[in-house]
């Protein structure tokens, strides 16, 4: 009741705008991450580690737009470079711009598995392109995704996507055939992956295994280095490509992403989010030169190619923003510092959980912090009884997380769905300690 009271008394401007939004925007919000309970907050400004809503309430920003702003929101040195560019050039020309080359050179320099880079419009598009490349290169058709991983919302990949903390399929409107060549394998189960690779041998083969290297859903269910290393071996054994989806981990796990962190080279890398430093059109396919060259073609070319496109991809604006953001991440050691903030926050959360005996667990991989209710495993659906139990518990968990998310907000901390936190370079010890006091309240 106290939480709802906060929203009713302190957030009238947000409430009014969300009511207005419902008339013209399905569900009243455009962004999937905008929470809706009891209604979404309308934000007036976001800078560094904080945001302020239209009613003037200030919040610690642990959503950080879902991960792209490792330097903190609206990082001023990057903004200054973007403004300079926009005074010189249109944000889009359709031709080549120097910043496209500079960004690609920098990414190739810091990411071990990236010899060439092709910009795309989003992480979703980059995944679609990488899978097409993998099929074109190997001549095989099936793709194994490691279960529960999110690889965007394309028809073939949304397969198996579940409502957070429930066993229920969220996506409808996808024809059966679209997912016929996508297989999902439970995380951390190498035997299951091997069985699928063997089965596929006589059924079109496996073009690629796609995985979030820190584990499904940004490491909600963590994966080890060894699991990734074994996937690398299996791909080599079965002549399939290994695709690391580094949309979240790219630059956040260090300049070399999870591949640098683990010391494992994928054949293709999906980039997004941090790639453009929080500016639009964040998507990129990186990888081995021989595979990437399958993209080449165009007017006057008769050679076959894996086609990708996008009117606004690779525009000077995104590339300049990405280039300067990556330089700043490198200069400031943003991943290390945001990682330390993540450690400090997780340690504090663990103490709170222990002190109050809460049914929670906090864990982190650097700047990606998870705060989950403890209980049944998300994907344990091995028999009907467990499935029904898991579904009921999951429903209760989801409701609890939603309420806790709103409670954190009412105490001045914005998280991702009450269960995930992205720290940034802007999270000083003072910010983290302030947040911990609020969590404790």
Show which residues are catalytic: 150, 245, 273
Q: Which residues pair with 73 in a beta bridge?
A: 48
Which is nearer to ligand PLP, 234 or 243 (by Cβ)?
243
What is the CA angle 389-34-150, rounded to 5?
55
**Could you say which residues in the range 197-226 bind ligand PLP, by CB under 6 A?**
212, 218
Which is nearer to ligand PLP, 217 or 328 (by Cβ)?
217
Count CB atoms within 10 A of the CB of residue 12. Answer: 12
What is the CA angle 190-193-194, rounded to 5?
90
- Give the shortest CB-188-to-ligand PLP separation in angstroms: 17
d(CA 322, CA 49): 20
Count CB atoms within 10 A of the CB of residue 222. Answer: 17
Which is nearer to ligand PLP, 46 or 416 (by Cβ)?
416
Tokens 């320099």 -> residue: 109
What H or E segment, with its residue span, contains residue 363? strand 360-365
Whether the ω angle into residue 38 lies within 30 degrees of 0, i.e. cis, is yes
Query: Which residue from 72, 113, 123, 256 is in contact with ligand PLP, where contact means CB under 6 A?
Result: 123
What H or E segment, with its residue span, contains residue 186? none
Query: Which residue from 35, 62, 137, 150 is in contact with ligand PLP, where contact means CB under 6 A?
Result: 150
* Region of 244-252, 312-320, 398-406, 433-441 interacting with ligand PLP (CB under 6 A): 244-252
Length of the chain, please? 441
* Region of 146-154, 254-262, 337-345, 350-358 interacting with ligand PLP (CB under 6 A): 146-154
**CA atoms within 13 Å, Cβ hemisphere of 265:** 11
Task: Tell whether residue 99 is a contact of ligand PLP (CB under 6 A).
Answer: no
Task: Tell whether residue 152 is a contact of ligand PLP (CB under 6 A).
Answer: yes
Task: Tell whether residue 272 is a contact of ligand PLP (CB under 6 A).
Answer: yes
The DSSP symbol for 66 reads G
- Give the shortest CB-274-to-ligand PLP separation in angstroms: 11
* Region of 4-12, 149-157, 172-180, 258-266 interacting with ligand PLP (CB under 6 A): 149-157
* Region of 21-29, 77-85, 117-125, 232-240 interacting with ligand PLP (CB under 6 A): 117-125
Burial of 177 (0-12, 13-18, 19+ CB in 10 A): exposed
Query: Which residue from 245, 267, 328, 402 is in contact with ligand PLP, where contact means CB under 6 A?
Result: 245
Which is nearer to ligand PLP, 216 or 316 (by Cβ)?
216
Query: Which residue from 97, 140, 151, 398 is in contact with ligand PLP, where contact means CB under 6 A?
Result: 151
φ, ψ at 140 (rounded to 5°): -110, 170
Which is nearer to ligand PLP, 124 or 269 (by Cβ)?
124
**Could you say which residues in the range 38-67 bind ligand PLP, by CB under 6 A?**
66
Which is nearer to ligand PLP, 235 or 247 (by Cβ)?
247
- Count the residues of the shown chain that bind ligand PLP, applying the rule CB under 6 A: 16
C-beta nearest to ligand PLP: residue: 123
d(CA 40, CA 49): 19
Query: Which residue from 106, 161, 209, 248 is in contact with ligand PLP, where contact means CB under 6 A?
Result: 248
Query: Which residue from 60, 234, 247, 390 is in contact with ligand PLP, where contact means CB under 6 A?
Result: 247
Tokens 């880079």 -> residue: 117
Pairing of the two strands 116-120 and 58-61: unpaired
Smallest CA-to-CA distance from 214 within 268, 252, 172 is with 252
Task: Tell whether residue 184 is a contact of ligand PLP (CB under 6 A).
Answer: no
Task: Tell whether residue 122 is a contact of ligand PLP (CB under 6 A).
Answer: yes
- The CA-atom distances, in angstroms, between 88 and each of 125, 142, 281, 316 are 29, 46, 20, 11
SS3 state of residue 270? strand
Helix axes 316-332, 334-356, angle to 10 degrees: 70
Which is nearer to ligand PLP, 72 or 250 (by Cβ)?
250
- Give the shortest CB-148-to-ligand PLP separation in angstroms: 11
- Give the shortest CB-383-to-ligand PLP separation in angstroms: 30
Which is nearer to ligand PLP, 60 or 127 (by Cβ)?
127
Per the CB < 8 A criterion, the answer to whether 139 and 355 are in contact is: no
Task: Tell whether residue 257 is a contact of ligand PLP (CB under 6 A).
Answer: no
Q: Residues with Cβ < 8 Å from 140, sequence gap 6 or more? A: 200, 204, 205, 206, 207, 240
* Region of 1-9, 69-77, 120-128, 381-389 interacting with ligand PLP (CB under 6 A): 120-128
Residues that bind ligand PLP (CB under 6 A): 66, 122-124, 127, 150-152, 212, 218, 245, 247-248, 272, 282-283
């Amino acid at each position: 009741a106290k939480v709802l009271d906060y929203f009713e008394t302190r957030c009238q401007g947000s409430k009014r705008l969300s009511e207005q939004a419902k008339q013209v925007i399905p569900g009243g919000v455009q962004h999937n991450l905008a929470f809706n309970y009891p209604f979404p907050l309308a934000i007036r400004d976001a800078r560094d580690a904080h945001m302020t809503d239209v009613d003037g309430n200030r919040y610690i920003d642990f959503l950080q737009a879902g991960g792209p702003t490792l330097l903190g929101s609206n990082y001023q040195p990057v903004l200054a470079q973007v403004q300079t560019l926009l005074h010189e050039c249109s944000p889009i020309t359709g031709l080549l711009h120097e910043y496209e080359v500079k960004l690609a050179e920098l990414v190739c320099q810091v990411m071990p598995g990236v010899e060439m880079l092709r910009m795309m419009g989003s992480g979703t598009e980059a995944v679609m392109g990488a899978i097409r490349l993998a099929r074109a290169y190997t001549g095989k058709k099936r793709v194994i995704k490691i279960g529960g991983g999110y690889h965007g919302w394309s028809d073939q990949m949304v397969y198996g996507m579940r409502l957070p903390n429930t066993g229920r399929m969220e996506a409808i409107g996808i024809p059966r055939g679209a997912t016929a060549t996508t297989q999902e394998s439970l995380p951390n189960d190498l035997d299951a992956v091997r069985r699928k690779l063997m089965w596929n041998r006589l059924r079109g083969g496996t073009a690629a295994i796609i995985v979030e290297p820190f584990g499904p859903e940004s490491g909600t269910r963590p994966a080890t280095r060894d699991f990734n290393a074994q996937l690398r071996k299996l791909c080599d054994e079965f002549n399939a490509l290994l695709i690391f989806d580094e949309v979240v981990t790219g630059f956040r796990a260090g300049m070399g992403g999870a591949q640098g962190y683990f010391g494992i080279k994928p054949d293709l890398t999906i980039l997004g989010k941090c790639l453009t430093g929080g500016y639009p059109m964040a998507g990129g396919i990186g990888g081995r030169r021989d595979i990437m060259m399958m993209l080449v073609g165009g007017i006057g070319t008769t050679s076959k190619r894996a086609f990708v496109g996008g009117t606004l991809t690779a525009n000077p604006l995104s590339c300049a923003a990405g280039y300067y953001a990556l330089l700043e991440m490198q200069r400031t050691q943003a991943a290390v510092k945001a990682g330390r903030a993540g450690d400090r926050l997780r340690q504090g959360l663990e103490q709170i959980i222990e002190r109050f005996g809460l049914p929670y667990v906090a864990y982190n991989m650097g700047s990606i912090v998870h705060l989950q209710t403890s209980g049944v495993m998300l994907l344990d659906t091995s028999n009907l009884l467990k499935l029904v139990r898991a579904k009921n518990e999951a429903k209760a968990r989801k409701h609890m997380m939603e309420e806790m998310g709103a409670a954190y907000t009412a105490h001045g901390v914005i998280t991702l769905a009450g269960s995930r936190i992205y720290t940034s370079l802007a999270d000083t010890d003072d910010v983290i300690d302030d947040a911990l006091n609020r969590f404790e309240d």
